[in-house]
Amino acid sequence: MESFKAFRIHEESKKIVARIEQLKLDDLSPGDVVVRVTHSDINYKDALAATGAGKILRRYPLVGGIDFAGVVESSADSRYSAGDPVLVTGCGLSETHDGGYAQYARVKGEWVIPMPPGLDAAAAMALGTAGFTAAYAIHRMEQNGQTPEAGPIVVTGASGGVGSIAIDMLAGRGYQVVAVSGKASSADYLKTLGAATILLRQEIDFGSRPLEAVRFAGAIDNVGGEMLTWLTRTVDFWGNIASIGLVGSAELKTTVMPFILRGVSLLGINSSATRRPARLEVWKRIATDLRPRHLDRIVTRTISFKDLPGAFGAYLDGSVTGRTVVKIAE
């Protein structure tokens, strides 16, 4: 194999520097499946990694990109053959292992997911880690007894990738969805995805009592901090709160009251370290009963590989709505 293009992140003079450069297969982290990558995406975590705004990489240099989809080029794992369409999300990509922002990726067979029937590489990356995380949150909540009949589910950070897809998936399952966003301009977008009610973050009275009046049957939270604290105090008996993100804060100041008096469950969602059986089951649901109905609206940008380096800043200043797909193949 000749050399190929990769977006690689370096640490130089204690600064993070990332650029597109030429690599050979031997430059990549070890693995038993080589994939010709056709599509990737951008997640908030990718922006943190590429800019150094967050400590994501555990070693340098590494190819960025926590997700990719493409076609198996070669495999020492008997589960895969050349030509198989596959995807990989999370699993330490762009943390400890070279990621998906390259024309070729080499990974462990255990991480590889056969492309579910009904999805292709572009749709899989329109979903990516964001879609998988949203679906895994709903899956965990439903395993723990959440039902549409119990009442409304609130989604915070609603206009981001995870929030957008969660709203679409929940509405498709018959849930009444309350969307919380800091962007008044995103209200129409959120309603087209299936949100029944929009709450502007700036207008919420978070209160201060250990338990506030019940407002929701469950929650998917991308914000953390004061927002998550408020959710613990306003979710109904036996409700589930899926904790996914910390764009607001990593702090959580609450009491045990919601958990012992209302039986609320706080479910931690780690999409990167999800075990393979759950990963396979959730991707199967993403292609069937949890398939978003408005993916064409959620994907607000498709960019080429060469435009990738300039695409991360918008994620850090919070101006991104929806999802960005990256076309790696020329």
| Per-residue pLDDT at 187 exceeds 80 | yes
Q: What residue spans define the domains of the chain?
A: 4-115+296-327, 129-268
| Per-residue pLDDT at 1 exceeds 80 | no
Confidence at residue 322, expressed as pLDDT on a 0 to 100 scale:
87
Confidence at residue 144, expressed as pLDDT on a 0 to 100 scale:
98
Question: Has domain 4-115+296-327 been given CATH number 3.90.180.10?
Answer: yes
Cβ-Cβ contacts under 8 Å for 270 (sequence gap 6 or more): none
- Domain 129-268 adopts which CATH fold? Rossmann fold (3.40.50)
Among 249, 36, 30, 45, smallest CA distance to 128 is for 45
| pLDDT-derived band at 153, boundaries 50, 70, 90 | very high
| Per-residue pLDDT at 321 exceeds 80 | yes
Average pLDDT, the chain: 96
Please give the average per-residue pLDDT across 279-285, as a whole number: 97
Confidence at residue 247, expressed as pLDDT on a 0 to 100 scale:
87
According to DSSP, the β-strands at 85-89 and 67-75 are antiparallel
| pLDDT-derived band at 74, boundaries 50, 70, 90 | very high
This prediction's pTM: 0.94
d(CA 317, CA 315): 6
Quick: pLDDT tens for 76-132.
999 999 999 999 999 999 999 999 999 999 999 999 999 999 999 999 999 999 999
| pLDDT-derived band at 304, boundaries 50, 70, 90 | very high
Residue 317 CB burial class (10 angstroms; 0-12, 13-18, ≥19): exposed
| pLDDT-derived band at 320, boundaries 50, 70, 90 | confident
Q: What is residue 89's three-state secondary structure?
A: strand
Confidence at residue 250, expressed as pLDDT on a 0 to 100 scale:
94
| Per-residue pLDDT at 259 exceeds 90 | yes
What percent of the chain clears pLDDT 90, i.e. is strictly above it?
Answer: 94
Please give the average per-residue pLDDT across 26-44, as a whole number: 97
Interior/surface letters 218-249, b for 16+ CB within 10 angstroms, e for the rest: bbbbbbbbbbbbbbbbbbbeebbbbbbbbbbe
3-state helix, strand, coil split of the chain in percent (to 5) is 30, 30, 40
According to DSSP, the β-strands at 177-181 and 153-155 are parallel
| pLDDT-derived band at 133, boundaries 50, 70, 90 | very high
Please give the average per-residue pLDDT across 204-221, as a whole number: 97
Confidence at residue 202, expressed as pLDDT on a 0 to 100 scale:
94
Confidence at residue 319, expressed as pLDDT on a 0 to 100 scale:
83
